[in-house]
Structure 1
Amino acid sequence: MRLHSKRNLLYVLCCFCLNLGVAIDTITSSQSIKDPGNIVSNGSVFKLGFFSPVNSTNRYIGIWYSNISVCTVVWVANRETPLNDSSGVLTISEGGNLVVLDGKKVILWSSNVTNSVANSSAQLLDSGNLVLQEKTTGTIIWESFQLPCDRLLPSMKISTNQRTGNKVQLTSWQSPSDPSIGSFSFNIQPLNLPQAFIWKYGSPYWRSGPWNKRTFIGIPSEDYQFQDGFSLINDQEGTFSLSFTYVTDLFLHFALNTNGNIEQRFWDYEKEDWEVSLLSQTECDFYGKCGAFGSCDSQNTPICSCLQGFEPKNTKEWNRGNWTSGCVRRTQLQCERVKTGSEGSKMDGFLKLNMMKVPDFADWSRALEADCRQQCLDNCSCIAYAYYTGIGCMSWTGSLIDAQKFSKAGVDLYIRLADSDLVTKQDMKKIVTITVIIGTVSILICTYLLWRWIAKHKARKKQQKEILLFNKGEAHKTFPSDNLNQVKVQELPLFNFEKLASATNNFHLSNKLGQGGFGSVYKGKLSDGQEIAVKRLSRTSAQGFEEFMNEAVVISKLQHRNLVSLLGCCVEGEERMLIYEYMPNKSLDAFLFDPCKYEPLDWRKRFNIIEGIGRGLLYLHRDSRLRIIHRDLKASNILLDKELNPKISDFGTARIFRGNEDQANTRRVIGTYGYMSPEYAIEGRFSEKSDVFSFGVLLLEIVSGKKNTGFYNDEEFLSLLGLAWKLWNSDNTVALIDPMISEPFFEMEILRCIQVGLLCVQEFSKDRPTISIVVSMLKSEIVDMPRPKKPAFTERLVALNTESSQHRKSILSVNNVTMTMVQGR
């Protein structure tokens, strides 16, 4: 038993990022990796082993950073053939290939090298490269850098051979929980001028523009940070290779995400998180957004326009915003009229377009800058040219595709136009432009000032009305309580919106702590240095002023060490915000279900959290001046302070009970699937026992480390409750315990907690204990506990035939009254 316990303590997934002592960086035929084992590179930069992506039970072999707190997988071997259990082995086969085997010794993945040798070994390098090499000579037979996934690491090469078509490219994951090959790929296209491309299902999705021996000129100047240390090499044998080096940061790398964007990622040591920048950030970055001879400018509305001298090919579709049909030339070129025998006219000229992303399909020549223009003018097929230092003379003879206007940098692009188009434009440009700009700006300024005045006036009146109603005690119509008339909004400190905006850096994304049904929560720091958490009601939230005032009223009257403290509120215009004490460790689910923060929660800490939640709930139900039913108790609503002490939060849906009330009904059921009791979810009835049910689910999640709703793809169980019930009936409850906390010393206490959890999730409320009894059970004050009955939501639903459907309808509906509509959060 003691040996078994030690093995369980070593059971870690890749994302736990634990250091296990002396690093072993090599795999041989006699030294394999068995799940959950791993190896670490010599300098402890990378780790290779088995892991499961977030919200997935599948097992994969992958490489991830070893010594940072956020788990980041950079390479996956068996991405198309996952294991569905922990029987996997990574080893060297008899033929010398690196293979992944399942429990039946079936090969799920192989390095598949034809020239492999029996005497070989695999080594994980500090560069993140896994190399298969001949033992005696050290000759590399295969390497993971030749088969990348979605990450480009320093010294890794993305390459294309234009003769053979062979490519080494990045491919996105299908989703954050599925590393199989997704919709997007990233590679080098060496045709004519080397460019980088992102492809979606084989079609161009984004283009970098040509390489000028230092950067890709189709990326705006503000994004040049993406190209520090990059090099593109032509080996003169048809292969073009793109790579980068960055000696000052071991962790810097690039990722092709599931949305088709290239991310530059570097580690922020102060925040202990990745700093992410996107390579493509506007609609204009989509390939060919405006069609042939169209130009895209993200600063304009609409963003697409025809190049000067061109007009929409399909005006009706163009005006609807369908720009892919592109544009056509308005006036035939002079050289084309000469070819067809038409009457001659003045010579064609070139219109200069500043700061442009040059179109695709450019031809290149060695012509000097002074000769580039004349070379294009002498060729009637040439419709545009550009010259750029480091590249040379570029010209275009076909349609101009994927042209874009930049606000900085870019290239001067010269477009060939008939003389009449040039003259008309030059004569009218200044007058029309100045008139339109002055008129438009004047109208916009007046409209904006008028709109601001009207908006402020309406908001001021609305705010005054709401506060007046609240101060008059009108809130008791929505929140029944004898004490509510005594509550005044002035009792809560009122924060100024500008003060909160300054504290949160204008609600910047980097300060965002999380998001729920109410809206977003931001970290802030007041001018006196106090850290706060600002809960801001979203304008699109299903919740509104009712829940806002409800939470303000309820929590302002509660004082307990296991309830979050409300510091004040803000009601300005359409803004609704609540200001809380800041919880540095965020919420329980971030520790319980995020593998990267799993390590600190040993059993003592978990039991302390269980007891704290129980005490807080007991205070709400029995000990507070107002009797409160929370109605949305879940892991994400349990906040943790710096010592990991729990505090119940989010009272937006809480209800206050009068002294003689035991239960209530509602026509508006708001809660979270997986935590709602059956009588509440189906009939809208709630009571103290509804919170006890939620507490039972939470208790089982804490003990098992599994989400109650994480069994959607499980063919046997509908929820964690079903698994717990099966293990209880088979007298194998120990199997439910999270391996990270499974120790003989605590086993009886943990099993007691599981029994308490099952008692709390009984299907009928009358069978569940009160929270005071639950707390006594947890403290072992009640020794003889009853055996639990079958919990709710333990079996999968099956399709009902017509007869059973009618029967169920007759049970759930009386006198044809419509039942409650559940609003999940």
Structure 2
Amino acid sequence: MKTKLLLLFLMLLLILHKPIWTLASPYPLAPSPQVPPFSPISTSMSASSPGIVMGAEQQQMDSHKKMVIAIAVASTSLGAVILSVLCIWIYHTKYPSKSKGKNVQRSDAEKGLASSPTLSKFTSIKLVGKKGGVPIIDYKQVEKATGNYKESNILGEGGFGCVYKAHLDDNLEVAVKKLHCENQYAEQEFENEVELLSKIQHPNVISLLGCSSNEDTRIIVYELMHNGSLETQLHGPSHGAALAWHLRMKIALDTARGLKYLHEHCYPPVIHRDLKSSNILLDTKFNAKLSDFGLAITNGTQNKNNIKLSGTLGYVAPEYLLDGKLTDKSDVYAFGVVLLELLLGKKPVEKLAPAQCQSIVTWAMPQLTDRSKLPNIVDPVIKDTMDPKHLYQVAAVAVLCVQPEPSYRPLIADVLHSLIPLVPVELGGTLKVAQLPQQVLPADPHEDSRP
């Protein structure tokens, strides 16, 4: 379309070009039929007044010179216009416009650093269509893969359903979230999660493999994370025994990387809105990945009048809880709470009595800023296993993240830069240690959770 318009414009210029030359010419192409070529009066005047004739001829020559100069200037100007138009057309053809360039960059950013596992190579999996770019898997096959939603296959529970372990193929184990969409909120969460995760691919964000539906039931299929959630690792039967200090810092670093990607590299930016230890999943190498994007929103849609106030007690930022004000700093607050869990081994909210609870932030804040008291509240599993300077640094980061005033909290990018020097090179940071203890490394460094 642009090319056609350009050609029409050039043709118009060429058409207009011809009359300019014709009208500007000092010599008419043909004499006018109404006016004689020579005037008798002019002839007699020429014969009787030779000086006047010479003056007229000189004046005519000067006029001709001016006309030629005018023609040259007009031709040069017209040529410059045509050349400029051609240059602009060539530039826009070869290079995208500035706005398009931004969109291309944002699109590339949304693709992330890793490709999600595809189902096309598994010929035994029956695909019945696509939802946007997400494969729709045959519901009966998913149901059968979970053992008809056998209780022993439950990996976790959420507000609208459970997550099950499933075998979709001999070589493919997956996690299946089953949602009971009997109300609009459950349906909205399903649609929201599928839409967002279909656009997000990053090493520290869970990979979406497919979805399915049957009447009021909605299914989301993810990659399986064999080491479960951070919540299970910290507060389950093992009480964090598998998580040494450096491994905990790696999990914090991975989580910060995932959040930074959502806040700064997605377009529009994404606010997770429900970051917590149960939504941080761990693969066989203890790589941490953010999950559960049902409540996530894109920046610009966080007006408290059009979204439901949601979140988990203990992780919700004060300004969001009291005023409905939601920004990326709300995720930073939740990250600070997770960092305190890793540091202290305590739950975000603990019961003191049947009707009395205490927030980890309220309890820990006075002691986190006191160097003499801090070592006494650290999780016993990791106590005395780290450099005291590193302990104080992590405590300082946590304190900044959970500040009541959002403007006092750092950006997640600043948190990330603070954590990188505390994590060994072998685990994704820049810290060089003489020899990393074997128990700090993943049990099987050659195995990966992805098929």
Question: Into which bin does the TM-score normalised by the smaller protein fall?
Answer: 0.5 to 0.7
User: How far did 1:742 drift?
Assistant: 1.5
Aligned to 1:560, the other structure's residue is in SS state: coil
Q: Provide the residue aligned with 2:191 in structure 1.
A: 549
**Where does residue 84 of structure 2 map in the other structure?**
none
Would you say 1:736 and 2:377 are equivalent positions? yes
Q: Which one is further off, 622-631 or 723-732? A: 723-732
Following TM superposition, by how much is the alpha carbon of 1:690 offset from its aligned partner in structure 2, in angstroms? 0.4
Q: What is the rounded CA distance, in whole Å, between the counterparts of 2:324 and 2:165 in structure 1?
A: 35
**Contact 1:664/1:687, CA 8 A, preserved across alignment:** no
Counterpart-to-counterpart distance in 1, 2:149 and 2:208: 19
Match of 2:134 in 1: 492
Aligned in 2, Cα 1:528/1:676: closer, same or farther, shift over 3 Å?
A: same
Instruction: Name the structure 2 match of 1:94.
Output: none
* Pair 1:594 & 2:236 matched: yes
Cα 1:716–1:656 shift into 2, 3 Å: closer
Residues 393-542 of structure 1 mapped to structure 2, 5 A cutoff: 489-539=131-181
Question: Partner letter of residue 649 of structure 1?
Answer: S
Q: In 1, Cα distance between the equivalents of 2:380 and 2:225?
A: 28
Deviation at 1:733, TM superposition (A): 1.6
Give the C-alpha shift of residue 665 in structure 1: 2.7
2:341–2:347 CA contact under 8 A, matched in 1: yes
Instruction: Give the alignment of 1:623-702 within 5 angstroms.
Output: 623-658=265-300, 664-666=303-305, 667-702=307-342
Give the SS at the match of 1:651: coil
- What are the superposed Cα offsets for residues 42-85 of structure 1, whole Å, 9 maximum, x if unpaired? xxxxxxxxxxxxxxxxxxxxxxxxxxxxxxxxxxxxxxxxxxxx
Deviation at 1:740, TM superposition (A): 1.0
Measure how far apart 1:579 and its partner are. Answer: 0.4
Write the distance in 2 (CA, Å) between the matches of 1:524 and 1:717: 37
Partner of 1:580: 222
Q: Are residues 751 and 534 of structure 1, via their aligned partners in 2, closer, same or farther at CA, if it must alter by over 3 Å?
A: same
Q: Contact 2:181–2:187 at 8 Å: present in 1 too? A: no
User: Are residues 1:767 and 2:371 paired?
Assistant: no
Q: Which runs of 4+ in 1 moved over 6 A?
A: 714-717
Matched residue, 1:558: 200
The whole-number CA distance in structure 1 between the counterparts of 2:252 and 2:186 is 31
Deviation digits for residues 381-423 of structure 1, max 9, x if unmatched?
A: xxxxxxxxxxxxxxxxxxxxxxxxxxxxxxxxxxxxxxxxxxx
- Partner in structure 2 of residue 230 of structure 1: none
Is this contact kept in 2: 1:517–1:542, CA < 8 A?
A: no
Cα deviation, residue 518, structure 1: 2.9
> CA 1:665/1:618 → structure 2, altered by over 3 Å: closer, same or farther?
same
The whole-number CA distance in structure 2 between the counterparts of 1:597 and 1:538 is: 32
Structure 2 stretches lacking a partner, 5+ long:
1-105, 108-129, 423-451
- 1:750 corresponds to 2:391: yes
CA contact (8 A) 1:517 1:541 kept: no
1:741 maps to amino acid: I
Q: Distance in 1 between matches of 2:413 and 2:359?
A: 26
| C-alpha displacement of 1:542 | 7.8
**Which amino acid counterpart does residue 677 of structure 1 have in structure 2?**
A
Q: Does the 8 Å contact 2:249/2:419 carry over to 1?
A: no
Q: Which amino acid aligns with 1:739?
A: P
1:7-26 aligned within 5 A? none
Who is 2:353 aligned against? 713
Distance 1:711 1:780, change over 3 A: farther
Q: Which residue of the partner structure matches residue 418 of structure 1? A: none
What residue number does 1:360 align with?
Answer: none
2-structure distance, mates of 1:541, 1:741: 44
Equivalent positions of 1:220-259 (< 5 A) are none
- Runs of 5+ consecutive residues of structure 1 not aligned to the other structure: 1-481, 782-825
1:713 Cα deviation after fit: 3.0
User: How many angstroms does 1:711 deviate by?
Assistant: 4.2
Report the residue type matching 1:564 in the other structure: I
Match of 1:725 among 365, 390, 394: 365
The code of the aligned residue for 2:377 comes to L
Contact 2:165/2:174 (CA < 8 Å) preserved in 1? yes
- After TM superposition, give the deviation of residue 657 of structure 1 in Å: 1.7
CA deviation after TM superposition for structure 1 residue 574, in Å: 1.7
The one-letter amino acid paired with 2:251 is I
Deviations 1:621-667 (A, max 9, x none): 00224410000000000111011111100000000125xx8x64345
Q: Do structure 1's residue 611 and structure 2's residue 257 form an aligned pair?
A: no
8 Å CA contact 1:494–1:570 kept in 2: the answer is yes
What CA distance in whole angstroms lies between the structure 2 residues aligned with 1:490 and 1:556? 8
Contact 1:634 1:694 in 2 (8 A): yes
> 1:335-367, CA deviations, whole angstroms, 9 ceiling, x for partnerless residues?
xxxxxxxxxxxxxxxxxxxxxxxxxxxxxxxxx
Contact 1:668 1:684 in 2 (8 A): no
- Give the drift of 1:744: 5.5
Q: Distance in 2 between matches of 1:573 and 1:714?
A: 41
If you compute each CA radius of gyration, which structure gives the higher value, 1 or 2?
A: 2
AA partner of residue 673 (structure 1)? L
Q: 1:566 to 1:679 in 2, by over 3 A?
A: same
Shift of residue 528, structure 1, vs aligned partner: 4.0
Matches within 5 A, 1:70-85: none
- Determine which structure has the larger helix proportion and give its number: 2
**In structure 1, how many angstroms separate the alpha carbons of the residues matched to 2:396 and 2:357?**
19
Task: Tell me how far apart the structure 1 counterparts of residues 357 and 391 of structure 2 sit (CA, whole Å).
Answer: 22
- 1:776 matched to 2:417: yes
SS for the counterpart of 1:743 is: coil
Alignment of 1:273-352 (within 5 A): none
Aligned partner letter, 1:566: L
Tell me how far apart the structure 1 counterparts of residues 160 and 356 of structure 2 sit (CA, whole Å).
34
Q: Is this contact kept in 2: 1:532–1:579, CA < 8 A?
A: yes
Q: What is the SS of the residue equivalent to 1:741?
A: coil
- In the superposition, relative to structure 1, how do residues 753 and 590 fare at CA in structure 2: closer, same or farther (>3 Å)? same
Mark the CA change 1:749 to 1:730 in structure 2 (over 3 Å): closer, same or farther. Answer: closer
Helix, strand or coil for the counterpart of 2:367? helix
Normalised to the residue count of structure 1, the TM-score between the two structures is: 0.34
> Following the alignment from structure 1 to structure 2, what is the Cα–Cα distance between the partners of residues 729 and 596?
29
Q: Is the 8 A contact 2:230 2:281 kept in 1?
A: yes
Q: How many Å apart are 1:540 and its aligned residue?
A: 5.8
Compute the TM-score of the two structures, normalised by the length of structure 2: 0.61
Distance across 1 between alignment mates of 2:354 and 2:144: 47
CA distance 1:529–1:684, change in 2 (3 Å): same
Kindly provide the amino acid, as one letter, of the partner of residue 536 in structure 1: K
Alignment-mate amino acid for residue 777 of structure 1? S
Deviation at 1:539, TM superposition (A): 4.7
* Amino acid corresponding to residue 416 of structure 2 in structure 1: V
The CA distance in 2 between the partners of 1:490 and 1:574, in whole Å, is 20
Aligned residues between the structures: 293
Amino acid across the alignment from 2:316: M
How far apart, in 1, do the equivalents of 2:228 and 2:245 lie?
19
Of structures 1 and 2, the one with the larger relative CO (CA 8 A, separation 6+) is 2
| Structure 1 CA distance for aligned equivalents of residues 287 and 139 of structure 2 | 31
SS in 2 for 1:552: helix
Distance across 1 between alignment mates of 2:394 and 2:219:
37
Please give the alpha-carbon distance, in whole angstroms, between the structure 2 residues aligned to 1:515 and 1:540.
17
